[in-house]
Amino acid sequence: VAGNFSYDGTNGPSHWGKEHKMCLGKYQSPIDIEEKDVTTMTFPELQFSGIEGSHKAYMTNNGHTVMIQSFDSNVPSISGGSLNGTYVFQQLHFHWGQNDNLGSEDLINNHSFSMELHVVFWKKEYDSYEEAIKRNDGLTVLGYLYQAMDEPNPIFESIVQQMPDIIGVGSNVTISDNNVLKKLVAPDIASAQNYFTYSGSLTTPPCLEIVQWIDFVKPQHISHEQLAAFRSIQSTDGTNLTHNFRPVQPLDGRTVYRNIAGVES
């Protein structure tokens, strides 16, 4: 687990820059995406592979989030869109807030959503995650927004049901639903071409400025009750991890693009 950071007090986001200078950089994430300021573009189709079929996956409480990884040989990857090359799945994890009115890291028109899923991929050309993070185009992260509602989202059924098994920091459990990865990584191919994209950073220390962000426009839903389960896990400082989102960072002249899908051929 990368360092002794947290989301409150003397290890909170405003202090990360003391130990991790890059957290004070100019191209940090998350950001507020103002729709009136985006530049529209038609990128080639964003393509997912290795999604079909089942994936044995496990989830871990790493003290900062609920993280899901796979030890399956069938590894998801993405290419196309604004990406140059193929990017291989590393892990996915979630960000949430103390209440349902906040929790997402990226904001749209200054609006917070209740939760955000990050699916982290590394550039295949660099052979490993460890090598990829040394390169400025090493990672891409897919961001999916969730809004809390009354209706449960079946995608989260196994995760929520098994959450009691990962209350303690460092604990992990095999996820009973072998389709969970497929459902989280590529929930709705029809919406997959509708995204914002910009260059930024990891949203946790060491805040490396090596991430091409792809934030899907259309929010999904999660129930209030399902979301509450995420707040029940413990954090590195021994208290409940009630919130784990970094505040938005200055855009500082960067361009945010919005993909406008071309005509299907």
78, 87 contact by CB (below 8 A): yes
Amino acid identity, position 186: A
Restricting to residues 196-225, which ones interact with ligand SG5 according to CB under 6 A? 202-204
Query: CB of residue 16 vs ligand SG5: minimum separation in angstroms?
Result: 12
Pairing verdict, β 87-96 and 115-123: antiparallel
Which residues does residue 79 pair with via DSSP β-bridges, in sequence order? Answer: 47
In the shown chain, the binding pattern of residues 129 to 168 toward ligand SG5, with x for contact by CB under 6 A and - for none, equals x-----------x---------------------------
118 binds ligand SG5 (CB under 6 A): yes
Neighbours of 39 (CB within 10 A): 9
Which of ligand SG5, Zn ion, none sits in contact with 64, Cβ below 5 to 8 A by type?
ligand SG5
Which of ligand SG5, Zn ion, none sits in contact with 2, Cβ below 5 to 8 A by type?
ligand SG5
- Phi, psi (deg, nearest 5) at residue 103: 140, -35
Residues in the chain: 265
Radius of gyration of the chain (CA): 17
20 binds Zn ion (CB under 5 A): no
Closest to 145 measured CA to CA, from 176, 118, 173, 110 = 118
64 binds ligand SG5 (CB under 6 A): yes
Closest to 170 measured CA to CA, from 233, 217, 224, 80 = 233
118 binds Zn ion (CB under 5 A): yes
Contact window for ligand SG5 (CB under 6 A) among 33-41, 48-56, 62-70, 156-164 = 62-70
64 binds Zn ion (CB under 5 A): no
Q: Which residues bind Zn ion (CB under 5 A)?
A: 118
Q: Which residues are tagged catalytic?
A: 64
Q: Which residues bind ligand SG5 (CB under 6 A)?
A: 1-2, 62, 64-65, 67, 90-91, 93, 118, 120, 129, 141, 202-204
